Amino acid sequence: MGWVAELGSFLQKSLTLSQLLQSLSDVERDFIANLDYGADSGKHRAELDAVIERGGDVDFATHGVWYPYEVIELGKNCLKEGHEREYAACMGIVLKNIESGRDRINDIEHILAQHYDTVRALPCDMRDMLDSQIERVIRKSEP
């Protein structure tokens, strides 16, 4: 197999945010929905499911920054051992919404300063997915 075919095979295997979100189990989704000490977990879970169905797009116009963005932000702020997928999903959702311009709260420079070491510690597929998103956000923000 030539290097071009190998690269194509590798690129087909790389994880996308949509794939990660769609693959989250009920247990993983519940973990995210309960990140605010279980407060309003039912509403967070329902809205998280809607965000997942939209591929990570958050409807700030309808729900503001509370449901489910509050728990998504809590998820991206702290990687808990054994919950790498949930962390990557939350960070991916935040990055996607920064890139699209919907998230006007978070700042890519702050994320890099505070969370890049954590991103680097993730398994390769999740790290590569987030690195790709970070690169797109940075390119989009350049003049």
pLDDT, tens only, 88-118: 999 999 999 999 999 999 999 999 999 999 9
Q: Work out the pLDDT band at 13, boundaries 50, 70, 90.
A: low
Identify the CA nearest to 74 among candidates 34, 132, 28, 21. 34
Q: Any residues with CB less than 8 A from the CB of 99 and at least 6 apart, and which? A: 133, 136, 137, 140
Q: How many whole angstroms separate alpha carbon 4 and alpha carbon 129? A: 21
Tell me the longest C-alpha to C-alpha distance in the chain. 53
> Residue 9: what pLDDT?
43
Q: How many whole angstroms separate alpha carbon 115 and alpha carbon 13? A: 25
Stretch 56-75: mean pLDDT: 91
The answer to whether the beta carbons of residues 20 and 96 sit under 8 Å apart is no
Q: Work out the pLDDT band at 2, boundaries 50, 70, 90.
A: low
